[in-house]
Structure 1
Amino acid sequence: MRLFIALDPPSDIRDAISDLQFPSDQIRWNNADQFHLTLAFLGEQADNQLDALCEQLAEIRFQPFELQTLDMGCFRHGALWLGFQSNPSLARLQKQLARSLYTIAIRLEHRRFHPHLTLGRSRSNPAPAVEHLQRQLNHQRFTFRVDRFLLKSSVLRQDGAVHQIEAEFLAD
């Protein structure tokens, strides 16, 4: 089972963000229901690990906090993203998750944590699309309250990934 831990913005925020998308032959846009902030990508895990993983994640304690979007950009591989303001509560939650997963022998990728929502993927130079999105955004910020994180599974399909919530973990 391909797993990851994520934060999902509320549906009204996801819908407002998807309204920024514009027709393009060069971009494959993500659906609003796919927007999430990945805290940890666990990769392929055995189905029989799910209970132990959920028990470990249930031990994570955090207080609710607010997240606000900030900037847009693109990664070298063509993913267009909407980033977030730096937030100490988010950074603490992500580090706490990484340490907790390490105790049950789940090793995470050694990448710098860059909190973002992936909006879509560009087949060519994504810079013009980012500029267009920035104009559409026009310094608008989206803010939402984080009061839970989710363990999700992902099935890769030809038309994109399908995500399913496997477990939900609430803030204190």
Structure 2
Amino acid sequence: MYRLFTAIDIPDDILDYICSFQKKMPSLKWCRKEQMHLTLNFIGNADEKLFLKIKKELASLTYDKLKISLGGTGFFPGTKNPSIFWLDIKQSSELGNLQKKIENILSGLGIKPEAREFKAHLTLLRIKDRNFLNVEKLSALYSAFEIKSFIPEAFVLYSSKLTPNGPI
């Protein structure tokens, strides 16, 4: 069984820049650099047969070149009781169109789209214990973040496995 999602990889130089801020608050359990990506579509569990169908359909997808810009932060579901601290990805029409095209292909294969609306972001921190979290200090940490942009070469179909220490 595969746990699948589509994503865009972030270039290493930008990830290094992002992670340089995390070193200023080492006591937090930040998302690891190798796990950071821009999720486009969470697919969920799929057997071998469905995985191969998805892979084949997505391989033939064409889409407009897009530019991705990162900057600004936020919390899901909000600052009052946050569970995720994220870096904003400026939503372009090209990025939204790519996400929607993938969603349509997946729907054609019987995979239901996510109920929540697509919000492009890069997860920086999964917040487990809110008692020791200073939301203002965390937000201020990334206030000096300079907007970074890149043009992705492709999107990727990923398979992950959930473990007690997080996804791998």
TM-score range, shorter chain: 0.7 to 0.9
- 2:99 is paired with a residue whose SS is helix
- Measured after TM superposition, the shift of residue 86 of structure 1 is 2.3
Q: How does 1:80-159 map to 2 (within 5 A)?
A: 80-122=85-127, 123-124=129-130, 125=133, 127-137=135-145, 140-159=146-165
Taking the aligned partners of 1:126 and 1:42, their CA distance within structure 2 comes to 33
What is aligned with 2:15? 14
Taking the aligned partners of 2:138 and 2:106, their CA distance within structure 1 comes to 34
Scaled by the length of structure 1, the TM-score of the pair is 0.85
Taking the aligned partners of 1:52 and 1:105, their CA distance within structure 2 comes to 11
Question: Percent identity, aligned pairs only?
Answer: 30
Taking the aligned partners of 1:151 and 1:126, their CA distance within structure 2 comes to 35
What is aligned with 1:23? 25
Query: Structure 1 counterpart of 2:124, which letter?
Result: L
Question: Across the two proteins, how many residue pairs are aligned to each other?
Answer: 159
Taking the aligned partners of 1:132 and 1:161, their CA distance within structure 2 comes to 28
- Measured after TM superposition, the shift of residue 48 of structure 1 is 2.3
Taking the aligned partners of 2:30 and 2:105, their CA distance within structure 1 comes to 33
Which of structure 1's runs of 4+ aligned residues deviate more than 4 A? none
- Measured after TM superposition, the shift of residue 24 of structure 1 is 4.6
- Measured after TM superposition, the shift of residue 126 of structure 1 is 5.6
Taking the aligned partners of 2:151 and 2:38, their CA distance within structure 1 comes to 13
What is aligned with 2:65? 64
1:96 to 1:28, Cα distance in 2 relative to 1, 3 A: same
For structure 2, which runs of at least 5 residues remain unmatched after alignment?
A: none
Q: Which one has a larger percent strand, Structure 1 or Structure 2?
A: 1
- Pairwise CA RMSD: 1.6
For structure 1, which runs of at least 5 residues remain unmatched after alignment?
A: 163-172
Scaled by the length of structure 2, the TM-score of the pair is 0.87
Query: Structure 2 counterpart of 1:12, which letter?
Result: D
Query: Structure 2 counterpart of 1:132, which letter?
Result: A
- 1:102 is paired with a residue whose SS is helix
